[in-house]
A and B are shown apart, each in its own frame.
Chain A
């Protein structure tokens, strides 16, 4: 299977306010049509890894390519290949949903942006509130608009950083359904979460991340076999404890 994302020895250090190595030599590959999970507690380094993949920040060491483009040397090409969504991803509060989608369609260089926006509104069921300002939308409506926004240019790779954080169950279900649909369409998805049930449901392979390092990377069944734990939560705790003991 062809690897869409290749990551090798990725490292990022921050010096302020206190020196810390947020990501320490992370390596993995993700194939087309695969949902790859980054699982770990808050501060494990998931978001920093996602940010390096989406070219928001540069790695200090290591190399990463997405759809054949290097994140350090061809960031513009990488950005055209990805759709990025996180819990903190914001919408412009003073634009309507339709205006916002049109704005981003133009930024992404979509051909015939008006038609594409209308198709996207229909696809995600935004018709009822498409002309309402984003500041007046509920959390669920906003997340739907965010999903529509990040798929406007039909990217082959989706980078989703804890996208269900703060969402109620119904909206979270919509988003999980969207990820499953993306996989069925052959898109590559990198999905970070600290919610074990989401990882169990969605991810083809899971990387357990702790203190900037990958403790284990395999399918859920293989991880279960390795640790002897039935549930992912137990798998995670067993791996962290084993690392601490070592």
Chain B
């Protein structure tokens, strides 16, 4: 093989050995086979079911709040309307100091003022419902006076159905969750072939041989990339298989969709493996590498989740790494992705992947990067863990600040929940890093020690629940502007006389098991 350049010769010699060593690692089977093939479809199905259940709880909560059990509604309404309310369902009105919504009547013109908070929009919906019913009663009375049967007014009966409740949500979850799986696989592999080798002393052994350094770096990067790609593709196979056998929440994929998804996954694998290799090389030791890597998984997971929201794949969004693939995959699964957009996303992603590989190679080639070893005690003396904890918490705050706001604007409930989750996770990780808890082993899945697994299980169970509880507790404390009661602020819904219907914003589906049939508004 003397005709080959030195780096390629080294790569050819090293790669089979590296692959063999990784395949003999038990955790590799979990990361590359079990996690994508079984874990990914299960996560998609479970998350879709969780989303549906949260949506159901939200609907039920809105319904309960719109029809309070004690029949109290803090709104400010004219006396005439108060009488209507008392006549229709006996709702007791609360003095309007902290009104959630106000109603003003000027002849036939009814104006409803409210703020863009959940409670206020619920009160608004409730009042609009009362106005509508009163309007129907007035109309029927007028028709009866004229001797016309009320049925003559409507040619059709209209029934409303919330189709969102039963809609399969799994399609938008494929890319974000597949990205998470690939990030975990790449992190695990990179930690083992780079940071782990450095600490075991095998990297030192390798670098004192005649092996070409560039070849060594390429072989390591190739191993990480191949395992990441394998995890991604096996994940696609797992999702396609789960969809074919009808696992709830997992969409059935056609051949073209599967192929498109496999291509998208390949693009993401290149970026994920480059990031993992860069971090594994930069970390001073295995412990801090595994800890930092766990927290860093959150960062690429954010753009990977863009497809789950209502962002459009515009040319500007096509420039966002990882996020563009998420949006394109979502559109492709819905059958709305144009060929031009697909090509643009592919080219941009390839450019990002090349950039990531280039930066990583440059970092690895720097002096001492491959052999930088510092012991934990020295790091602690130098204040490394304190800075690391501050960095992790700062990163979570930054994520909440920069990403949380726009996401909340799109979807208040999920935005708040996500923001709080990031904050709680950031706080927990920072605290763990600072006091030296063995979180790194759990986060990296390197050593599944029972205490770590218990910790991970508790954190996993508590974090979403805690976030949701905080969200619910926040609601009563959301400030209701006093100016709302004075008619100087907030949004308005106007119901004109005659046939013009009210534009009800965010009206909840109030008919359900929690709401007495007689009180159903629609």
Q: Is the CB of B24 within 8 A of A89?
A: no
Looking at B6-14, B245-253, B293-301, B307-315, the stretch in contact with chain A turns out to be B6-14
Q: Is the CB of A94 within 8 A of B21?
A: yes
Q: Is the CB of A56 within 8 A of B204?
A: yes
Bound-state CA distance A169–B17 (Å) is 34
Looking at A25-33, A77-85, A173-181, A182-190, the stretch in contact with chain B turns out to be A77-85
B201 contact from A80, A86, A109, Cβ within 8 A? A86
Q: Is the CB of A90 within 8 A of B210?
A: no
Is A18 positioned at the interface, with any CB of B under 8 Å from its CB?
Answer: yes
Q: Is the CB of A107 within 8 A of B21?
A: no
Q: Is the CB of A107 within 8 A of B209?
A: yes
**Chain A interface residues (CB < 8 Å from chain B):** 16-18, 51, 54-58, 76, 79-80, 82, 84, 86, 88-95, 99, 103-104, 106-109, 149, 153
Is B206 positioned at the interface, with any CB of A under 8 Å from its CB?
Answer: yes
**Given A17-B381, A107-B14, A107-B210: A90 and B368 within 8 A (CB)?**
no
Q: Is the CB of A90 within 8 A of B367?
A: no
Is B371 positioned at the interface, with any CB of A under 8 Å from its CB?
Answer: yes
A88 contact from B204, B209, B210, Cβ within 8 A? B204
Q: Is the CB of B201 within 8 A of A84?
A: no
Which residues of the other chain, A, contact B374 by a CB distance below 8 angstroms? 16-17
Bound-state CA distance A108–B212 (Å) is 10
Closest to A81 in B: B210
Which residues of the other chain, B, contact A54 by a CB distance below 8 angstroms? 208
Bound-state CA distance A154–B152 (Å) is 105
A149 contact from B10, B205, B210, B382, Cβ within 8 A? B205
Q: In angstroms, how far is the closest chain B Cβ from the Cβ of A134?
A: 10
Q: Is the CB of A80 within 8 A of B210?
A: yes
Q: Report 11 cross-chain contacts, Cβ distance below 8 Å, ordered by A residue.
A: A17-B381, A56-B207, A80-B210, A82-B208, A90-B200, A90-B205, A94-B21, A103-B17, A106-B13, A107-B14, A109-B210
Q: Is the CB of A91 within 8 A of B202?
A: yes
Q: In angstroms, how far is the closest chain A Cβ from the Cβ of B26?
A: 10
Q: Is the interface of A mostly helix, strand, loop or mixed?
A: loop
Q: Is the CB of A89 within 8 A of B20?
A: no
A55 contact from B20, B208, B381, B384, Cβ within 8 A? B208
A107 contact from B24, B211, B378, B382, Cβ within 8 A? B211
Q: Is the CB of B371 within 8 A of A76?
A: no
Which residues of the other chain, B, contact A56 by a CB distance below 8 angstroms? 204, 207-208, 371
Which residues of the other chain, B, contact A17 by a CB distance below 8 angstroms? 374, 378-379, 381-382, 384
Q: In angstroms, how far is the closest chain B Cβ from the Cβ of A84?
A: 4
Is B336 positioned at the interface, with any CB of A under 8 Å from its CB?
Answer: no
Is B474 positioned at the interface, with any CB of A under 8 Å from its CB?
Answer: no
Bound-state CA distance A94–B24 (Å) is 6
Q: Is the CB of A58 within 8 A of B367?
A: yes
Bound-state CA distance A124–B382 (Å) is 44
Question: In chain B between 191 and 242, which residues have their CB closer than 8 angstroms to a CB of chain A?
Answer: 197, 200-202, 204-212
Which residues of the other chain, A, contact B212 by a CB distance below 8 angstroms? 76
Using an 8 Å CB-CB cutoff, how does the interface string of B335-374 with A read, 1 for contact, 0 for none? 0000000000000000000000000000000011001001
Q: Number of contacts between A and B (CB, 8 Å)?
A: 77
Q: Is the CB of A90 within 8 A of B14?
A: no
Is B109 positioned at the interface, with any CB of A under 8 Å from its CB?
Answer: no
Closest to A82 in B: B208
Which residues of the other chain, B, contact A109 by a CB distance below 8 angstroms? 210
Closest to B203 in A: A90
Bound-state CA distance A225–B371 (Å) is 41
Which residues of the other chain, A, contact B24 by a CB distance below 8 angstroms? 94
Is B25 positioned at the interface, with any CB of A under 8 Å from its CB?
Answer: yes
Which residues of the other chain, B, contact A84 by a CB distance below 8 angstroms? 204-205, 208
Q: In angstroms, how far is the closest chain B Cβ from the Cβ of A62?
A: 16
Which residues of the other chain, A, contact B202 by a CB distance below 8 angstroms? 90-92
Q: In angstroms, how far is the closest chain B Cβ from the Cβ of A21?
A: 16
**Given A107-B209, A107-B210: A93 and B200 within 8 A (CB)?**
yes
Q: Is the CB of A57 within 8 A of B371?
A: yes
Q: Is the CB of A86 within 8 A of B204?
A: yes
Which residues of the other chain, A, contact B384 by a CB distance below 8 angstroms? 17
Which residues of the other chain, A, contact B205 by a CB distance below 8 angstroms? 84, 89-91, 104, 149
**Given A17-B381, A106-B13: A79 and B208 within 8 A (CB)?**
yes
Q: Is the CB of B13 within 8 A of A107?
A: yes
Q: In angstroms, how far is the closest chain B Cβ from the Cβ of A123?
A: 19
Q: Is the CB of A90 within 8 A of B201?
A: yes
Bound-state CA distance A79–B10 (Å) is 14
Q: Is the CB of A79 within 8 A of B201?
A: no
**New A-B pairs, 11, CB < 8 Å, besides A84-B208, A93-B200, A107-B13:** A16-B382, A17-B384, A84-B205, A90-B200, A90-B201, A90-B202, A92-B21, A94-B24, A95-B20, A107-B210, A153-B210
**Given A93-B200, A94-B24, A94-B25: A57 and B367 within 8 A (CB)?**
yes
Which residues of the other chain, B, contact A88 by a CB distance below 8 angstroms? 201, 204
**Given A56-B371, A57-B367, A107-B211: A90 and B204 within 8 A (CB)?**
yes
Closest to B381 in A: A17
Which residues of the other chain, B, contact A104 by a CB distance below 8 angstroms? 205, 209
Q: In angstroms, how far is the closest chain B Cβ from the Cβ of A197?
A: 25
* A-B pairs, 9 with minimum CB distance: A90-B201, A17-B382, A84-B208, A90-B200, A94-B24, A90-B202, A88-B201, A80-B210, A54-B208
